Structure 1
């Protein structure tokens, strides 16, 4: 298995003193799988940090189709842009049951005035998202074959959000054909056909939203 990707867990990067103060700033909120945390251009005055679970960040096209931009998990900030603008530029939905830390921006402003290192960690989280977006933009244009885009996305999902089991590497949240299609910007029927081919080639197993990559090495060669 590939070496573990560098952690994006903001809470782990804070000093123990800063983390304790940071956690006391907010309150714990729970959400159910499928809940929408916020929609595009919604006015919100708080920042969400995931304590447990998975969130998809997506935008809607002018035709009403969803395009998933990022997936976030434990310790990641969902909406760093709230520090600059209280209107969201993206929408967020729970991919699993969630535990969130909800902190109001006005409280964060006071906290960051006295803890520059914590501010820098949160700022770096936003910068990292921007770099990821640049990479995805380069890989999602129409000249990059859909088979390669899909293989790359599945491989990265398994690497970043998977766990090793006897039959391969299982992604820890439900992965539907619809979700995959919204990630690569393709029609559901096209993605379904490619998934069927991957299953026949024994690269993956996919049934009722459970996605297991059975051959990470071979799948990576397609990318």
Structure 2
């Protein structure tokens, strides 16, 4: 049975489109933004590297940032694509930690930066903000866990099907034919996001097209059979604020 766009479109707006406003009240977002100083950053720059001291949180005011992880064999895996409204950074209040990923700016961006010491003071002063911050951190950790699960447990076909579902939740637009992903992404970019070769992605996409699960037109993916993709990746029906890129 084919799944129409309406099966996922209503929930898609929860976090993928709203960023941190899905987790923080307007008053607490205002408190966070009051701590930020804004930097303009050019594309192809790095905000931090894996292993750097985690002393800041980063808020994307405009542009896009991808978080990547290098494997032992030197290949790069893209785990997150952050856009305007998202906040990221491996900061742990009241203790020292290090960043777990590289943060590469892929479009000219304005980035709001929050220092750890300023955040800690604000959390001490406002218990409601501290609770919302813990909830946000929990969701971010769960997102990371589910992405590693996809990469490790269900092979490249499962990882790619999961990625397509996540792209649909993040950028999908409802249509009569299914869920059209309103963001062109190359096969090479998809390969980097699941730790595969471009040739492997080409082959899996061809299999998915033959099965009728998707169509690809000029780089734009249309999800026609969501259930099929979910079966391949053993979908656990995670909330849409977790099942996103």
Q: TM-score, normalised by structure 2?
A: 0.74
Shift of the 221–18 alpha-carbon distance from structure 1 to 2, 3 Å rule, reads closer
Contact 1:47/1:82, CA 8 A, preserved across alignment = no
Cα offset, 1:165, TM superposition: 6.1
User: Is 1:127 matched with 2:138?
Assistant: yes
Which position in structure 2 is the counterpart of 1:118? 129
Count matched residues: 220
Aligned counterparts of 1:66 and 1:16: Cα–Cα separation in 2? 36
Cα offset, 1:155, TM superposition: 1.9
User: Is 1:7 matched with 2:1?
Assistant: no
Cα offset, 1:121, TM superposition: 1.7
Shift of the 52–165 alpha-carbon distance from structure 1 to 2, 3 Å rule, reads farther
> 1 or 2 for the larger relative contact order (CA 8 Å, sep ≥6)?
2
Aligned counterparts of 1:44 and 1:138: Cα–Cα separation in 2? 25
Shift of the 186–193 alpha-carbon distance from structure 1 to 2, 3 Å rule, reads same
Which position in structure 2 is the counterpart of 1:90? 101
Aligned counterparts of 1:96 and 1:53: Cα–Cα separation in 2? 5
Which position in structure 2 is the counterpart of 1:20? 30
Runs (5+) with no aligned partner, structure 2: 234-245
Q: Deviations over 1:148-202 (max 9, x none)?
A: 3212211221222333468754445452222212222222221122234445666
Q: Secondary structure at the match of 1:126?
A: helix
Q: Which moved more, 1:43-52 or 1:110-119?
A: 43-52
Aligned counterparts of 2:174 and 2:111: Cα–Cα separation in 1? 26
Runs (5+) with no aligned partner, structure 1: none
Q: TM-score, normalised by structure 1?
A: 0.80
Aligned counterparts of 2:66 and 2:161: Cα–Cα separation in 1? 19
User: Is 1:139 matched with 2:147?
Assistant: no
